[in-house]
Amino acid sequence: MRNGTLLKIEDLYVNFKTDEGIAKVIDGVSLDIKYGEVLALMGETGCGKSTVAKSILRLLPKNAEVRGKILFKGTNILDLPESELRKIRGKEIGMIFQDPLTALNPVFIVGNQISEMFKIHKLRIKRTILDEVIELLKNVRIPDPQRRYYSYPFELSGGMRQRAMIAMMLAGRPSLLIADEPTSALDVTIQAQILKLIMDLRNDYNMSILLITHDPGVVAEMADRIAIMYAGQIAEIGPVRDIFLNPQHPYTKGLLRALPLGHKEERELENIPGRVPNLIEPPPGCRFHPRCPHAIEKCKKEKPKPVVVSNEHFVFCHLLRGG
């Protein structure tokens, strides 16, 4: 497996122009993903996880204004002309969504949709495209792939559709797979199968994965590192074990206390008082300060910089530098 950084996001800002004003949805996010690594982005709904993911592939709507750098293998994706971007999107970087029905075209058979990937990206093939597609369907463990090639998306179960979507993404042998809540539309037993499949394929295809989720069980199962997001800012980032066992940021602590972390543990779930802020007028400084029980004056004025907790574990909180 190659060493080094595959993707580096530097100081990403995303604003959306809306009728009510400008929503400052991402506020200076920086993170990196190494070759072969699974990085999870976790946080409440609306914290900006999916916006970060869509920024990478420039899939944001027209009212989005994006600043910063997204370096993929050293090239800034945000500077690429559309023709160059198309060579990366779906080939070098694949994305799977929560509901594969939104990504699959309902009027074409699954096999043709996967075949398109070979044609669009002019992928090198050893056999016929039909054989390549059937091989991919086999790799994602779709039973009776010869028959399923000719199925329409509506003829497949949710789990099977997600497998077909993954097969489509694998055609280009991407270095990075972005999985945006890949199992939240599926029932629990199917979730486990899809997660296992993604992890097996990560090894077989030597991919890095950016996993967007709000499920700590999925993170514990799959990720090497985790970045906790709150209201468009990174609160804490580090190895999964360090964050789960030794969280430092008041929001991370609150979030972990508010989530069921396993059936062995018996405790009351807590909630974080207050509400997620309105991002048209976000709180200045640390965006968590109106809800933080430890906030000090500085928190209202200055955005916290990263503080090293231990190797690879960073927290963005003024408290950890003695106020």
Q: 181 vs 236, which CB is nearer to ligand SF4?
A: 236
Minimum distance, C-beta of residue 321 to ligand SF4, in the bound complex (Å): 10
Minimum distance, C-beta of residue 240 to ligand SF4, in the bound complex (Å): 21
CA-derived radius of gyration, the chain? 20
SS3 294: coil
Q: 141 vs 303, which CB is nearer to ligand SF4?
A: 303
Of 228, 256, 250, give the one whose Cα is nearest residue 319. 250
Alpha-helical segments (H) within 171-296: 188-205, 216-222, 240-245, 250-258
Per this entry, what is the length of the chain? Answer: 323
Q: 262 vs 293, which CB is nearer to ligand SF4?
A: 293
Minimum distance, C-beta of residue 245 to ligand SF4, in the bound complex (Å): 19
| CA quadruple 77, 83, 89, 90: dihedral, nearest 10 | -160
Q: 67 vs 300, which CB is nearer to ligand SF4?
A: 300
Minimum distance, C-beta of residue 239 to ligand SF4, in the bound complex (Å): 20
- Number of DSSP helices (H) and strands (E) in the chain, helices first: 12, 12
Minimum distance, C-beta of residue 300 to ligand SF4, in the bound complex (Å): 8
Contact 46, 102 (CB under 8 A): no
SS3 287: coil
Q: For binding to ligand SF4 (CB under 6 A), which residues are involved?
A: 249-250, 286, 288-289, 292, 294-295, 299, 304, 317-319
Minimum distance, C-beta of residue 253 to ligand SF4, in the bound complex (Å): 10
β partners of residue 38: 209
How far apart (Å, rounded) are the C-alpha atoms in residues 17 and 21? Answer: 6
SS3 71: strand
